[in-house]
Amino acid sequence: MLTQEIIRRKRDGQTLNRQMLDLVMRGIADGSIGDAQIGAFAMAVYLNGMNRDEAVALTESIRDSGQVMRWDDLDLAGPVLDKHSTGGVGDLVSLVLGPWVAACGGHVPMVSGRGLGHTGGTLDKLESIPGYDVTPSDETFRRLVKDVGVAIIGQTGSLAPADKRLYGVRDVTATVESIPLIVASILGKKLACGLETLVMDVKVGSGAFMPTEEASRELAEAIVAIGCGAGTKTSVLLTDMNQPLADCAGNSLEVFEALRLLRGDGRNEERGEGRNSRLYRVTRPLAAEMLLQSGIASDTEDAEARLDRALDSGEALERFSRMVHGLGGPADLAERPEDHLATAPITIDLDADRAGCISAIDTRSLGLGVVELGGGRRNAGDAIDHRVGLSHIAALGQRVEPGQPLLRIHAAERADAEAVTQRLRRAFTLSETDDVAIPPLVHATLREGQSA
């Protein structure tokens, strides 16, 4: 069948079957279909949508457009599972969760991405660690997934290659915001990793990828239906991004934070740090959902008990250290992070200019502040400065007095810090009264056939 006939069908509101979608995705992957037809295909889907069977078929076609990982020959002792997030600010969940779940008996082949827009990327964070190789050989990746239980690496060219071109064309043809295209893009890549279980973290709020809570929920429902339809047990936690998840954002700052949590060192829980932090209180239910859905744990209490043991015993930290060392990083990173992780030469506190209670945070704007400091990219391929970012970010509901810091800026030059202060200050809304409604950290859990 000719590509233009497949596009015509979709343009006219008819459905496409797996064979047709395979033809288009294969043609995109091998270069035989040009950008004009890719753009027309994406626009036809954008305008007419897809029913569930079509979206499942598109996901499978993207998954199968390149290498699909297999794990059955490795005789693994536990299930193959992963977590993926729609992206946030101060969202370092993956750095903690991957080793934590590995310490509970899971095998986590985590293929992660770089920062996108205002959101940080797990790979950029890991590259703050000197020597850490995000593109190891297949053999090293598989060995670490088997022996350590976790390896976090970057996407290879052979994994879901149709998505790379399709996403690039969508980006410049106003066709990114289509639920079936988004879901097939996210899940096509993830399912190519050969997962039995996937837990998605779909963010809600001022720093989320989707613009409204309704849109986040619609995306979440589609992810559950399409992931399960494509044969991977998929559930979603809708989690809050109305403020940065950690109280810091920036690449090496977030690696420091991950180590603090994994080490369980005595941060002040009264002040909402350590195990009372938002980061911990989102990472733990995500990890528990993975243990539950994969059958490692029999119920939520069992999952939480296993997670507590893995953290308290130091096993989760140990897995993180073995992964880092196995991928070329220093063997003593966990013991001496300050010897290895670079820090910014300039730190400046951004103080509140009046008293008030923090009633809203424009999280997206804080993320863009990190990008402007050099912690993210203005253009694809730009080098980034791993040292820069924000820390001590004040929380929603916190009262500040004039002269008290809203956050601390970590910059390469004083001028860089001064250039972002207006944007960062405007990101905080202060109210006179203290009765600020704090959104829940986990808005909902969605599983096949049920929502909570």
CB of 189 to ligand URA, least distance (A): 6
Q: Give CA–CA dist 115/446, Å, rounded.
A: 26
Please identify which of the residues 65, 85, 235, 445 carries the catalytic annotation: 85
82 is catalytic: yes
Q: Are strands 389-391 and 405-411 parallel, antiparallel or unpaired?
A: antiparallel
Please tell me the total number of residues recorded for the chain in this structure: 452
CB of 387 to ligand URA, least distance (A): 27
Q: Which is nearer to ligand URA, 185 or 294 (CB)?
A: 185
Nearer to ligand URA, 97 or 223 (CB): 223
From the list 64, 82, 362, 385, the catalytic residue is 82
190 catalytic per annotation: yes
| Active-site residue (options: 10, 63, 125, 189) | 189
Residue 185 vs 242, nearer CB to ligand URA: 185
CB of 215 to ligand URA, least distance (A): 12
Can 83 be counted among the known catalytic residues? yes
Q: Is 85 a catalytic residue?
A: yes
Catalytic residue among 63, 83, 114, 408: 83
**Which is catalytic among the residues 61, 86, 119, 122?**
122
15 tagged catalytic: no
Residue 242 C-beta: closest distance to ligand URA, Å:
20
Please state the closest distance from residue 179 (CB atom) to ligand URA, in A: 10
137 is a catalytic site residue? no
Q: Catalytic one among 170, 322, 387, 408?
A: 170
Nearer to ligand URA, 97 or 182 (CB): 182
Q: Is 6 exposed, middle or buried (0-12, 13-18, 19+ CB in 10 A)?
A: buried
Alpha-helical runs (H) found in 64-137 = 93-103, 122-126
User: Per the structure block, which two tokens stand in for 426?
Assistant: 């405007």
H helices present in 49-160, as ranges: 52-63, 93-103, 122-126, 138-147
* Residue 185 is among the residues annotated as catalytic for this protein: yes
Q: What are phi and psi of 359, to 5 degrees?
A: -105, -15
At its nearest, how many Å lie between ligand URA and the CB of residue 188?
9
Least distance to ligand URA, CB of residue 85, Å: 10
CA atoms within 13 A of residue 141's CA, in its CB half-sphere = 19
- Gyration radius of the chain over CA positions: 22
Q: How far is the CB of 186 from ligand URA (least distance, A)?
A: 5
Based on CB atoms, which residue is closest to ligand URA, 176 or 444? 176
Inter-residue contact 249 to 390 (CB < 8 Å): yes
Catalytic residue among 10, 190, 410, 443: 190
Catalytically annotated residue among 3, 59, 65, 84: 84
Active site residue 425: no
Three-state secondary-structure class, residue 368: helix
Tokens of 245: 């998840």
* Whole-angstrom distance, CA of residue 237 vs CA of residue 20: 33
Name the residue nearer to ligand URA (CB basis): 129 or 210.
210
Can you name the residues that pair with 240 across neighbouring β-strands? 204
Nearer to ligand URA, 380 or 437 (CB): 380
Give the integer Cα–Cα distance in Å for 374 and 382.
Answer: 9
What is the number of the residue whose Cβ is closest to ligand URA? 185
How far apart (Å, rounded) are the C-alpha atoms in residues 49 and 222? 12
Output DSSP code: residue 365: H
**In 3-state terms, what secondary structure has residue 319?**
helix
Report the interface residues with ligand URA, using CB under 6 A: 167, 176, 181-182, 185-186
443 is catalytic: no
* Assigned token pair, 371: 């990008």
Question: Hey, what's the torsion of the CAs at 188, 190, 191, 192, to 10 degrees?
Answer: 80
Q: How far apart are CA 114 and CA 96, in angstroms?
A: 17
Between 54 and 315, name the residue whose CB sits nearer to ligand URA: 54
**Catalytic site positions:** 82-85, 122, 170, 185, 189-190
